Every structure is written in C-alpha cells, then in structure tokens.
Structure 1
Amino acid sequence: MRNETIHKLQEMRLSAMAGAYMPQLEHPENFSNMTFDERFALIVDHESDVRLNNKLKRLIRNAHFPNSQADLADIQYLPDRHLDRGLIHLLSTNAYIEKSRDIILCGATGSGKTFLANALGMNACRAGYKALYLRLPDFFVEYALTAARNKQQDYTKKLQNVRLLILDEFLLIPVKPPQQESLLELLERRSGNTSTIYCSQYSFAGWHEQLGGGAIADSILDRIIHGPYKLEIKGDVSMRQRLAEADKVEELNSV
C-alpha cells in the first residue's frame, strides 16, 4: 500500500512530495509527536519549495544573463559613482515591472551598467517574472536572420511576451534604416505592456542622432521617453579596474 502511494505520487509528477513522504514511512518514530495535518504540511511545503526553486532556475537559465551572480546587495555605492540609493531601492521592489515602466542606465564603458541591469533582472526572476538579456547588436542580427525566412513576426512576438527585457549595448553603433524599422516594431509591441532596461554609453540627449534621425527615430524615442526611470552611473575609475585592483590586494594579503 505504501509503495503504491509512492508510485502514484511519482506518476503524478509529485516526486518531491514522494521524497518527503518516504522518511515518514521509514522512520515514523521521528514524527510521532506531530499531528496528521503537521506531517502533511511538511510534505506539501517540500513539494512547493522544490517547484519554486526549479521555476527560479528555469527563469534564470532562460534569461541568458552574462552574470547570473549579480545581486543588488553587492552594488558599490562609492561617492564618485553618484548612484541614487533611494531609486535603486525603489526598483528593487519590482513595482516598475507591474507598472510597465522602463529604466535607462547610462554610463561609460566599465561603469557597471551591465552588472546593475543583471542584478535587476535576477531580482525580477526571484519575484517570478520572465526576463531576458539581449545585446541590441544581437537583436539586429537575429531579426535579419528570421526576416530572411519570413519569421520576423514570430521573433518579435516572442520578445513581446517577456516581462523584463534588458537591451544592452543600446545604440553603441549608429542604427541604420533597416534596423530602425525592426527596433520600432519591437518597441511598438512592448510599449505600455512590459518593461525594458536600456543600457547605453550615450546620454539620452544623443539617442536621436544614434538612431539615425528622422521620423522613425522620433517614433522610437516616443515609445521610450514617457516615464522611464533614469540612472546615470559615473565614476573616476571603471568598475573592472576597481575589481582587478581589489583582487590583487586580496592575493597579496593571502600570501
């Protein structure tokens, strides 16, 4: 009877529940002081925890973060970086995702834009949101490949359903006319329904020129400028250099 119960749980894909039930069968003396409800709650809680952990792992894996260890708790609020601690705390609540608001992160190479974006993405995954990290140059390449097969609509529809899209290296290279149209299509699908984090070396004032100017550039910016949170990351020294110097000090201290 007991083996049959375990087998049925496994057949119903409740293997974690079956795993939690087995110790109660094998060592009932360890649970003799517990009521049936308490013992059953242990089994159900274990199944729930395993499912949540598996879902988180799946969300992180599918997000393709270059740094899946990034954490908002590890942000270095150094004076020269001029980071808005209050704004980052607000973003940590993920309320911006619920309100479908965007984030613009500007800063020089090595300033920590990608780390902060990844940390926000990881934070969103922990809250159960579907996220995706994507370099803008890679988006243009993938769009062109799918367009060659007349599948570009399927590709943009897939990106449309991502609650938090991180577009890194945004406008690093000036956008050409065909790319203008593909970017406009993407933002049109996502505008007002999802959140996007834009990571750019250019300040917002220079985006129109990088977008190639003209009416399409106007249309693209019109889908970005309404109510985004803006963070400009400054710094006298790049975070890569700071971390490299910190590693050297740690190595010397360990000798």
Structure 2
Amino acid sequence: MTNQTLDKLNSMKLRAMEQEYRRQIELPANAALSFDERLAMIVDAEWLAKANNRLQRFLRKANLREPSANLENINFDHKRNLDKTTIARLADCSWIKEGKNLIITGATGTGKTYLVSAFGNAACRKSLKVHSYRVNRLLTDLAISRGDGSYNRLLKDLKKPDLLILDDFGMAPIDPCACRDLLEVIDDRHGRKSIAISAQLPVAKWHAVFEDATIADAVLDRVVNNAYRIELKGPSLRPHIPQNEGDDSTTE
C-alpha cells in the first residue's frame, strides 16, 4: 500500500509530498508523531515547494539585472544616504498596488541597480508581476517593433506588469521618435501601474535628456509627481580592479 501511495503521488506530480512521505518512512522517529502531525508535514512540504516554484517563475519573467538582490541584505552605511524607515515603508509594496512610482538616483557604483532589483524581488515575493528593462534596450525594441508590425503588441505587454523597472535612464539623449515611444509606455501605465526608474542623473537634469521638450514635460509630469525618491550617495561599491603590473596603458 505504501508503494501504491508513493506511485500515486508521483503520477499526480506531487513530488514534494512524495519525498516527504519517503523521508518519514525512512526515519523511525517519525512513528512517534500523530497522523495529523505527519500529514501536516507532508502538506507543508508540497505547499512550500509550490510557493518556491511560483516565486522562481515570477523572478524569471521579471528579468531582473540582479535577480538575487533582496532588501534584507541592503547596506545601510550612513554614507549611502539610505533611510531604514523609508525602505521598510516601501518594502511592503503597497506603493505598487496603489500605482505609484519609485525613482532611485545616484552616481555610478552606488547600488542603484541592486536596490531597484531588490524592490523587484520583493514584489515577486508578493506575487506581483514585474518586468525589467534597460531604457536604451527598451527604446531599441520599440523602434524595431514599429518596423515589424509588433508595436501595439509590445505596448500591450508593457501595460501588464504591476511593476515596470526602467534601469539606466538618461545614459544617452532620447531622440524625438523614441520620446514619443517612451511617452506611450508611461501614459498607458499612468495612475494604474507602477514604474521604478534608476538613473545616474539627478531628476533636475532629466528634462535635458529628451530632444522633444514638450514630451519631456509630459513624461516628467506623469512620472515624477507620483513618485517616491531615493538618492544614493557615497563611494562606489564596486570592487577596485588594479592595473596589471607592467601594464603601461593609462586612463584619461
């Protein structure tokens, strides 16, 4: 009967329950537990396995640049200008459910991508749909989709995530056509779905990134006025890579 039960669990693809049942059979000490206790352990094993699989699916779809980033491991060194209370308040992801935005700015290496990925990870743990893009790559995809007829489908896909992460904003000027594409994306999500943006440039300099000033006004009005802001400071967190001994090259 035991073998039949194991076979049935396997055929129903209840692998975690099967493994836990096998473990209980192999450990004589489990015989001292009541039926309810052993059943609870078997059910818990399956529940945890399904929850973990669901999280992994959400993380794969999120395409985070730092998929292992999490808010629990944030470095709160005072030089970074990170407020624990602010992070704790945002960690529950209620701002995402309310359709608000998040802006993270700071110099190269201060941890912007890690932090925005950590918020993406936190959202996935709340079973919220997330997708992450580098801004320049997103604009390239939108330009390509105009030519191959998939533009409307891509815009529709960009409306779906509860949180859309736009990483590395402002790395290059945005031409008028790309300005219109970005406005389409942001306008579709405004007031309904959240956007998280990371950028080296402070918000005060964002307007100059857009080659179309009118669209710049529209984009910033929709994003900035509805956003929480985090400005990272301090030295770069990236490890320094020393020059190879004997390397005569110089860096300007």
**TM-score, normalised by the number of residues in structure 1:** 0.85
Quick one: structure 1 residues 175 and 20, their matched pair in 2 at CA, closer, same or farther if it must change by over 3 Å?
same
Distance 1:64 1:51 in 2: 20
Provide the residue aligned with 1:240 in structure 2. Answer: 238
Provide the residue aligned with 1:30 in structure 2. Answer: 29
2:218 equivalent to 1:219: yes
Matched-pair contact (CA < 8 Å) for 2:134–2:166? yes
Provide the residue aligned with 1:6 in structure 2. Answer: 6
Matched-pair contact (CA < 8 Å) for 2:175–2:212? no
Structure 1: gaps of 5 or more residues: 246-255
Provide the residue aligned with 1:20 in structure 2. Answer: 20
Summarize deviations over 1:134-179 as a string: whole Å, max 9, x none.
Answer: 1000101111222221111211222221122211111221111111
Provide the residue aligned with 1:144 in structure 2. Answer: 143
CA-based RMSD of the aligned residues comes to: 2.2
Provide the residue aligned with 2:105 in structure 1. Answer: 106
Structure 2: gaps of 5 or more residues: 243-252
Distance 2:28 2:233 in 1: 61
Q: Give the fraction of aligned pairs with identical amino acids, expressed as a percent.
A: 35
Quick one: structure 1 residues 28 and 80, their matched pair in 2 at CA, closer, same or farther if it must change by over 3 Å?
closer
2:172 aligns to what SS in structure 1? coil
Quick one: structure 1 residues 46 and 79, their matched pair in 2 at CA, closer, same or farther if it must change by over 3 Å?
closer
1:169 aligns to what SS in structure 2? strand
Distance 1:20 1:190 in 2: 44
Mapping of 1:1-255 within 5 angstroms? 1-24=1-24, 26-27=25-26, 29-235=28-234, 237-240=235-238
Quick one: structure 1 residues 19 and 78, their matched pair in 2 at CA, closer, same or farther if it must change by over 3 Å?
closer
Distance 2:132 2:216 in 1: 23
Give the aligned residue type for 1:138.
R
Summarize deviations over 1:104-126 as a string: whole Å, max 9, x none.
Answer: 11112222211211222222222
Summarize deviations over 1:34-59 as a string: whole Å, max 9, x none.
Answer: 33222221111100011111122222
Distance 1:5 1:97 in 2: 44
Distance 1:194 1:244 in 2: 40
Give the aligned residue type for 1:115.
Y
The count of aligned residue pairs is 242
1:89 aligns to what SS in structure 2? helix
Q: Once the 2 structures are TM-superposed, how far is the Cα of residue 27 of structure 1 from its aligned partner? A: 4.2
Once the two structures are overlaid, the 10-residue window that deviates more, 72-81 or 54-63, is 72-81
Q: Once the 2 structures are TM-superposed, how far is the Cα of residue 29 of structure 1 from its aligned partner? A: 4.3
Provide the residue aligned with 1:249 in structure 2. Answer: none
Give the aligned residue type for 2:42.
I
Once the two structures are overlaid, the 10-residue window that deviates more, 90-99 or 64-73, is 64-73
Give the aligned residue type for 1:215.
T
Provide the residue aligned with 1:252 in structure 2. Answer: none
Give the aligned residue type for 2:113.
T
Distance 1:4 1:145 in 2: 55
Distance 2:19 2:77 in 1: 47
1:240 aligns to what SS in structure 2? coil
Once the two structures are overlaid, the 10-residue window that deviates more, 176-185 or 9-18, is 9-18
Provide the residue aligned with 2:246 in structure 1. Answer: none
Distance 2:11 2:191 in 1: 42
1:109 aligns to what SS in structure 2? coil
